[in-house]
Amino acid sequence: MGLIVQKYGGSSVANTARLRAVAERVVRTRREGHQVVVVVSAQGDTTDELIRKAHELTPNPPRREMDMLLATGEQASIALLAIAIDCLGEPVVSLTGGQGGIYTDNVHTKARITRVRGDRILRELAAGKIVIVAGFQGITVEGEDYEITTLGRGGSDTTAVALAAALKADMCEIYTDVTGVFTADPRIVPQARKIPVISYGEMLEMASLGAVVLQPRSVEFGAVYNVPIHVRSSFSDEPGTIVKELTLMNGNGNGTETGEKEVLVTGVTHDTNVAKVVLVSVPDRPGVAARIFGALAAERINVDMIVQTTKAEQETDLLFTISRDDLPRASEVVRRVARELGAKDVLEDQTVAKVSIVGAGMVMNPGVAAAMFQALADCGINIQVISTSEIKVSCLIDESRVVEAVRAIHRRFLEENAPGPVRAAATGAAATTAAAAPGSARATASTAASSMATPTAAAGSTSADPQPGATGSAAGTW
Amino acid sequence: MGLIVQKYGGSSVANTARLRAVAERVVRTRREGHQVVVVVSAQGDTTDELIRKAHELTPNPPRREMDMLLATGEQASIALLAIAIDCLGEPVVSLTGGQGGIYTDNVHTKARITRVRGDRILRELAAGKIVIVAGFQGITVEGEDYEITTLGRGGSDTTAVALAAALKADMCEIYTDVTGVFTADPRIVPQARKIPVISYGEMLEMASLGAVVLQPRSVEFGAVYNVPIHVRSSFSDEPGTIVKELTLMNGNGNGTETGEKEVLVTGVTHDTNVAKVVLVSVPDRPGVAARIFGALAAERINVDMIVQTTKAEQETDLLFTISRDDLPRASEVVRRVARELGAKDVLEDQTVAKVSIVGAGMVMNPGVAAAMFQALADCGINIQVISTSEIKVSCLIDESRVVEAVRAIHRRFLEENAPGPVRAAATGAAATTAAAAPGSARATASTAASSMATPTAAAGSTSADPQPGATGSAAGTW
């Protein structure tokens, strides 16, 4: 008998049949003797549909009103799931984010949970009820104005893990449409294998780098409050992937725990939701980067890779990547700042993608990065930008080559008789990877020129703080 | 410069083009110098769609969860309208029912507004904003649980008038898809005319009797707080129908105010959302009616017409009508009580309809009811039940004859050279109408046998209190 938080994604509750299946699973867990708190997302593509409606009116709707709009998706889901559970004869109550005590800051559409007040949920649980809480949303408390906020895409994961932390749950189960976290996207790499256990750190990188099963911030919550997270399928009973605290001593769970040989690379990820922005010929003065990235941070636009290239005296090119969704807003901000700074031009490119390898064992093996670059070079894939941390290496490439790239890297590291890292010749890039301080929990994203491929703008690159004032992952993605 | 509350129905905000048109009208009103509070319903058939989703799970979903579900419809509307108004450059804020200070009792799906706290709205207005409030919904405050409630079908009208009353608005404009209140449904009667001015009392009867342009409860709010209500089309600028205080001295606005001959009948209404329930052979004991109608009232099922017939010694038949939506729940309640009372059978009939005439002048003219019965008799339409108040006469007939009946009655009273009331021969039914005390604001529904048609169950009818403890209109409809 324990307290279990279960989170079901939009595809798991997309229609009546699936709602019933989820209701049955929840009730089964309850009848096994557990207290159950359920977090749900909006049904199917409801959120996209609502966004479409707003965008029919304007490409830039006020964010407070977007939250008002989007919050309805989850509110409908919790009611429908409560109705489905009620049909099975179990006492149940649905709660909005606000009713569930999810308090956030006032940054609409990308709010952060600041406090979880669990008293109402605990009272309902004590009364024997299954409690369903709307994911993705919360409220602010300023004066007496309770404003509705949303947490950004995938925010329901964060709601679930934050609730699990606040309620001291024994397990946070994240139900999704895949059976766990894989060594690569199985739709691209048929040889991809499920990872049985993974550390918070690796999961954080995987999630930040494009493995869409978990929102990065939810993993951070899990890590800080040590909430074990079980990522599994709502369509089957097979065990999924457990995300939990793992020391380097017991490895990444993919190898040592099962007694197999040590695995250096846990997984390969890719992300096509990437846009590249280049400020051409910015005056090379102190404070330039701070101006640009400060302005973007103020708009809560997350910057990922950053490369600054000194190309002529007193002039520099500044390249960075963001998610494509943010490009319209970022473009506005960047063009304004670029004018103020006197930059020559702003270029945008939406045809790029990022491939990455993640593995806790990597830090001990400088040859890993080199092997990745070699795998790409063997396919003739050009690397535009490289970014590394102690447990990951990311390469920006042309979007059209991404499938090929992921397959090649997976083959190199994660399949039968994979050749693995390059043990010898420490290349320039590999040296950069090794240079990241192994002791620092979160290395600032560093960028490096690869000696094996020719990054278009990475020559003479310098490291830059991706997002002043923001707590960020290694890649500065959030 | 005044404060205007505008309410837009679901069809007025059904899609992007219509949202834009509403936004333009709101902004125009604001730019004319008025403060504007806007109340909106859910878009198009959103509410029906949500109900359909719930009913796919179960025919009897928990009502609290239905409110959680249905409230999302209006919440999406207010956000979309706020976005549309923001596009036009006017400061705007949307508020849920709770944020807008609409407090209700805790009777889910049929809650009543108990208090309107206008401070947040007034603060936003003072800041120069257009304020959009979600119609149809409110919150309860019990302890610290803010539970979401809805007001029942058409509840947005009530929200608008209640807000207009609380904010002491100069006018409450109800925008709908018709251009005003008509002497009959123009879809059925091409000769129907728009009524320029109508009293609260007449509007209340019209609304209760099936003229769906205004929710009856909203008219009651208007009457109690003397809020002028302008019912008009959101698709044109032509004036609609003004609902306001009218004394008998200045007539019903349809006649005397314009200097024309006095009009006895203001309009003809019909309602096909009617079901008939008959308890066959109930023991004729005191308290039987109270048991049945008390049980229905406890379920918030509104009873309309009631006829009790003594058919044998110590046995009585009890007939009443309710709205068809309520039939499944009512059936359950009635069959339980019928068993307890030892009734022989319970019959249900969903093929009935109600036609009514409404007019403040009627009370002075006993021949009006008789003329209505004659009009039906001339068509060979059988009257099953009659119910009268001082300003209306209703007849229950077979649903298949309703169009014919409305046309015949409209022709009799409201078209060129209409023969009008029967001035002579005061019939039994007309006598009953005349017997209703002209001074009492709300007569209890009385039923009577007509001497011109043969009601199936009205012989020896007695008057009964339709809904103990509930404040009701003349027909006991709410």
Domain membership flag for residue A223: yes
Pairwise CB contact (< 8 Å): A146 & B99: yes
Give the model's pLDDT for residue B448. Answer: 34
* B47 in contact with A, Cβ within 8 Å: no
Residues of B in contact with A87 (CB under 8 A): 57-58
Minimal Cα–Cα distance from B153 to chain A, Å?
A: 18
**Alpha helices (H) in B58-171, listed in sequence order:** 63-87, 119-126, 155-166
Domain membership flag for residue A43: yes
* A87 in contact with B, Cβ within 8 Å: yes
Pairwise CB contact (< 8 Å): A61 & B99: no
Residue A250 sits in the same domain as residue A294: no
Give the model's pLDDT for residue A313. Answer: 73
The residue that leads in pLDDT, B152 or A29, is A29
Give me the mean pLDDT over the B215-239 stretch. 91
The residue that leads in pLDDT, A254 or B114, is B114
Residue A294 sits in the same domain as residue A204: no
The shortest CB-CB distance from A68 to any of B71, B75, B144 is to B75
* A21 in contact with B, Cβ within 8 Å: no
Task: Tell me which of A180-184, B352-356, B358-362, B448-452 is least confident.
Answer: B448-452
Give the model's pLDDT for residue A149. Answer: 97
Q: Model confidence at A144, in pLDDT bands (50, 70, 90)?
A: low
Give the model's pLDDT for residue B210. Answer: 67
CA distance A243 to A222: 8
Global pTM reads 0.74
- pLDDT value at B454 more than 50: no
Give the model's pLDDT for residue A258. Answer: 39
CA distance B199 to B194: 14
Give me the mean pLDDT over the B154-159 stretch. 92
Interface A-B, measured as beta-carbon pairs within 8 A, has a size of: 110
pLDDT tens-place string over residues B289-347: 888 998 998 888 888 888 877 766 778 888 999 999 899 999 999 999 999 988 999 99
CA of residue B344 relative to chain centroid, distance? 34
Residues of A in contact with B130 (CB under 8 A): none
Domain membership flag for residue B417: no
ipTM attached to this prediction: 0.73
CATH code of the domain in which A409 resides: 3.30.2130.10
Give the model's pLDDT for residue A428. Answer: 34
Max CA distance (Å), chain A:
75
Residue A393 sits in the same domain as residue A439: yes
* A63 in contact with B, Cβ within 8 Å: no
Give the model's pLDDT for residue B418. Answer: 73
Tokens, residue A469: 């004032």
The residue that leads in pLDDT, A236 or A160, is A160
The shortest CB-CB distance from B62 to any of A16, A75, A83 is to A83
Give the model's pLDDT for residue B42. Answer: 96
Q: Determine contact, residues B293/B333, Cβ cutoff 8 Å.
A: no
Pairwise CB contact (< 8 Å): A61 & B144: no
Give the model's pLDDT for residue B434. Answer: 30
Pairwise CB contact (< 8 Å): A84 & B57: yes
Residues of A in contact with B68 (CB under 8 A): 75, 78-79, 82, 94, 96
- pLDDT value at A3 more than 60: yes
- pLDDT value at B462 more than 60: no
CATH code of the domain in which B13 resides: 3.40.1160.10
Closest residue on chain A to B61 (Cα): A83
Residues of A in contact with B57 (CB under 8 A): 16, 19-20, 80, 83-84, 87
Pairwise CB contact (< 8 Å): A71 & B69: no
Residue A241 sits in the same domain as residue A330: no
Burial class (CB in 10 A: 0-12, 13-18, 19+), B415: middle
Residue A120 sits in the same domain as residue A213: yes
CA distance A304 to A210: 12
* A146 in contact with B, Cβ within 8 Å: yes
Q: Residue A242 is part of which domain span? A: 3-255
Give me the mean pLDDT over the A91-108 stretch. 96
CA distance A219 to B462: 71
Domain membership flag for residue A478: no
**Residue A151 DSSP code:** -
Give me the mean pLDDT over the B5-12 stretch. 95
∠A317-A319-A320 over CA atoms, to 5°? 155
**Residue B191 DSSP code:** T
Residue A243 sits in the same domain as residue A192: yes
**Residue A182 DSSP code:** B
**For all residues of chain A together, what is the average pLDDT?**
83
Domain membership flag for residue B475: no
Domain membership flag for residue B20: yes
Domain membership flag for residue B249: yes
Interface mutation vs chain B, best among A67, A72, A132, most B CBs within 10 Å = A72
Give me the mean pLDDT over the A223-251 stretch. 85
Q: Model confidence at A190, in pLDDT bands (50, 70, 90)?
A: very high
- Scan for tokens 């290349």, then name that residue: A427
* B66 in contact with A, Cβ within 8 Å: yes
**For all residues of chain B together, what is the average pLDDT?**
83
Task: Tell me which of A468-472, B55-59, B322-326 is least confident.
Answer: A468-472
The SS3 call for residue B35 is strand
Q: Which of B415, B406, B400, B399 is nearest to B375 (CA)?
A: B406
List all residues 6 or more positions away from A347 whose beta carbon is below 8 Å from its beta carbon: A276, A277, A278, A280
Pairwise CB contact (< 8 Å): A19 & B57: yes
Give me the mean pLDDT over the A257-276 stretch. 76
Residue A190 sits in the same domain as residue A271: no
Residue A182 sits in the same domain as residue A273: no
Domain boundary among A205, A228, A255: A255
Give the model's pLDDT for residue A56. Answer: 96
Pairwise CB contact (< 8 Å): B86 & A65: yes
CA distance A434 to A389: 9
The shortest CB-CB distance from A86 to any of B65, B72, B75 is to B65
CA distance B453 to B462: 18
**Residue B443 DSSP code:** P
Residue A442 sits in the same domain as residue A298: yes
Give the model's pLDDT for residue B467. Answer: 33
Residue A137 sits in the same domain as residue A229: yes
- b/e string for B312-346 if b means 16 or more Cβ within 10 A? eeebbbbbbbbbbebbebbeebbbebbeebebeeb
Q: Model confidence at A312, in pLDDT bands (50, 70, 90)?
A: low
Interface mutation vs chain A, best among B68, B93, B139, most A CBs within 10 Å = B68
Q: Model confidence at B157, in pLDDT bands (50, 70, 90)?
A: very high
Other CB atoms within 10 Å distance of the CB of residue A372: 33
Q: Determine contact, residues A353/A270, Cβ cutoff 8 Å.
A: yes
pLDDT tens-place string over residues A206-222: 887 766 778 888 998 89
- pLDDT value at A45 more than 70: yes
Give me the mean pLDDT over the A350-369 stretch. 86
Q: Model confidence at A440, in pLDDT bands (50, 70, 90)?
A: very low
Residue A97 sits in the same domain as residue A160: yes
Domain membership flag for residue A468: no
Q: Which of A388, A374, A370, A382 is nearest to A306 (CA)?
A: A388
Residue A220 sits in the same domain as residue A313: no
Other CB atoms within 10 Å distance of the CB of residue B471: 10
* A88 in contact with B, Cβ within 8 Å: no
Domain count, chain A: 2
Pairwise CB contact (< 8 Å): B83 & A120: no
Give the model's pLDDT for residue A365. Answer: 75
**Cα Rg of chain B, angstroms:** 23
Give me the mean pLDDT over the B391-401 stretch. 93
